[in-house]
Amino acid sequence: MRMLKTTLIATTFLIAGAAHATALDQFKSFVAGTRSARGEFTQTQVLKTRTGKVSSGTFVFARPGKFIWTYQKPYEQLLQADGETLYLYDKDLNQVTTRKLGGALGSSPAAILFGSNDLEKNFTLAEAGTHDGLEWLNATPKSKDTTFEQIGIGLKDGFPQAMELKDNFGQTVMLKFTNVQRNPALGAQTFKFDVPKGAEVVNQ
């Protein structure tokens, strides 16, 4: 009876520990177990005295370096990478800007979601406590050649639910992710970019 009681107590603590996994534990679980995902996002520019521009859209990614980030509101814009080349399509200008992906992800926020599993090569990771119902992790770029000073990652149930991006100019952008599907089946041509008819192509 005593052994059974001890086992039940130990099991209870294990369950409680799993339910309150640290941000770093959750992040490592996300990196290890999420090869691809799709979902929706809301992006909010946070100004010192008020909330700024709000954008929204959809995303889909497959590691490493393949993603489609689509702004739908208030205007349409597309960022897409096929693992080798990064494409930026501005619908209003009907213009496509391309650049080699190479180290473009590097210490950027995109590397958190879309990059390789070796994030500690480019970021210093540290626990940042709990707020807004999420466990937070701070990722500080090791490289000085980046516009971002710090990236906060809010996690719950082993997946990033929000990101807080602070740049070197004192501006902050908040991202919130919803309706996320982990490891969906994606076709071989999902990330192939087709230049829209008549679009001007600018190579950088």
Domains of the chain by start residue, with CATH = 21-203 (2.50.20.10)
Q: Write down the pLDDT at residue 1.
A: 45
The structure tokens 């391309």 sit at 98
Contacts of 180 (CB under 8 A, 6+ apart): 37, 38, 39, 159
Low-confidence ranges of the chain (pLDDT < 70): 1-20, 48-51, 103-108, 116-118
**Pairing of the two strands 123-131 and 148-156:** unpaired
Q: Which residues, in sequence order, are bridge partners of residue 176? A: 42, 162
**Distance between CA atoms of 136 and 178, rounded to whole angstroms?**
17
**Distance between CA atoms of 204 and 186, rounded to whole angstroms?**
29
Q: Write down the pLDDT at residue 17.
A: 40
Q: Which two tokens stand for residue 66?
A: 């393949």
Q: Which two tokens stand for residue 4?
A: 């059974």
Q: Write down the pLDDT at residue 149.
A: 86
> What's the length of the chain?
204
Q: Write down the pLDDT at residue 147.
A: 76
Q: Which pTM value belongs to this model?
A: 0.81
